[in-house]
Amino acid sequence: MAPVTASTYDIDKAAGLLRAGRLVALPTETVYGLGANAEDAAAVTRVFQAKGRPPSHPLIVHIGGAELLGEWVEEVPATARLLAEHFWPGPLTLVLRRAPRVPLEATGGLETVAVRVPGHPVALALLAAFGGGVVAPSANRFGSVSPTTAEHVRAELGDVVDFVLDGGPCDVGVESTIVDVTGDTPSVLRPGGVTREDLEAVLGRPVAVPSTSHVRVPGQHPSHYAPRARVVLVEPEKVVVEAELAQEQGHKVGVLRPPSSGDGPAAVHAVVPVPGSIAEYARSLYGFLREFDQRGCDLVVASLPPEEGLGLAIANRLRRAAGPRDAG
């Protein structure tokens, strides 16, 4: 893991603010989170207010190590313990029955809680200095593009955040994978930084990725991770044609150009080539979407990557960004 990049002074300052019930933006390997003391119901409520997030949408509790999981959940089944041992610290969130110390404000009123150990040295240093759990949904307005730099947080939330702890750009760039381990069969409720293939290799059995679930989890609102520009999803071979047609119709078009589409289109407002590396694509996706907004695009044309590995998480984010306006 990379060395801690924030100063001890800043980490201690952030920990003190959390103890005082204040809001601190913190880096994780996935995205920047808007942090609050997970056991302070009033502070948790302020997170919802700052984001404009419906209070029924549960938050993820971030803890400092896998050995602490039993303090935050009712019980730790063998499957959860196995996954924690293999993937923590890292971009995996486990859904389990909550322990009494977790307020219902943090769970959206549910008797389950989502927990993870972040794989970022600054986040872990903050959790150690704070000495407790921290709820930390993405540090942005509800439904908009998640932040992957401290600058993104400052630009979007401004003075709503009491302190932004800068840990540099996020390495993974998409949120954690959420796995429901409350029953006998684990299932992926949100694809993310740990792939389905990784999970299946550790568990030795197939893992379901249902399109819908009765369990409420972060990031599954019909429209989520969305830029101001409308996102339209088309087949890869149609990206150029659809983009040029939309531009002719008067739109300021941004294009996420897949590697298979060649050099075009030329006659559009903004073109961002999709990286050949799927890990780099995931790391850069939210930055690309923000760039289109900054360049004044009102429509973004994109295609879905192959839905395997991290491509499944990218496809999930693009579908949510397109929302009900475009089923993809």
pLDDT tens across 156-189, in order?
999 999 999 999 999 999 999 999 999 989 999 9
pLDDT at 309: 96
Residue type, 160: V
| Cβ atoms 67, 156 nearer than 8 A | no
Tens digit of pLDDT for each residue in 59-82? 999 999 999 999 999 999 999 999
pLDDT at 234: 95
Tokens of 123: 């986040």
Using CB atoms within 10 A of its CB, is residue 5 exposed (0-12), middle (13-18) or buried (19+)?
Answer: middle
Place of tokens 């943090």: 106
Tens digit of pLDDT for each residue in 199-241? 999 999 999 998 655 555 565 555 568 899 999 999 999 998 9
Tens digit of pLDDT for each residue in 76-100? 999 999 999 999 999 999 999 999 9
> Is 90 exceeded by the pLDDT of residue 194?
yes
pLDDT at 225: 80
CB atoms within 10 A of CB 214: 6
* Distance (Å, whole) CA 199 – CA 218: 20
Tens digit of pLDDT for each residue in 250-269? 999 999 999 877 666 667 89
Confidence of residue 133 (pLDDT cuts 50, 70, 90): very high
pTM, two decimals, is: 0.93
> Which alpha helices (H) appear in the chain, and where do they start and end?
8-19, 41-51, 78-87, 104-107, 121-130, 150-157, 196-203, 239-248, 278-294, 310-322
Tokens of 27: 């880096």
Average pLDDT, the chain: 93
What average pLDDT does the segment 49-54 reach? 95
Residues 6 or more apart in contact with residue 137 via CB below 8 angstroms: 33, 34, 47, 51, 53, 59, 60, 218
| C-alpha radius of gyration, the chain, whole number | 19
Tens digit of pLDDT for each residue in 280-315? 999 999 999 999 999 999 999 999 999 999 999 999
* Distance (Å, whole) CA 289 – CA 305: 16
Q: What is the signed CA dihedral for 82, 86, 87, 93, rounded to 10 degrees?
A: 0
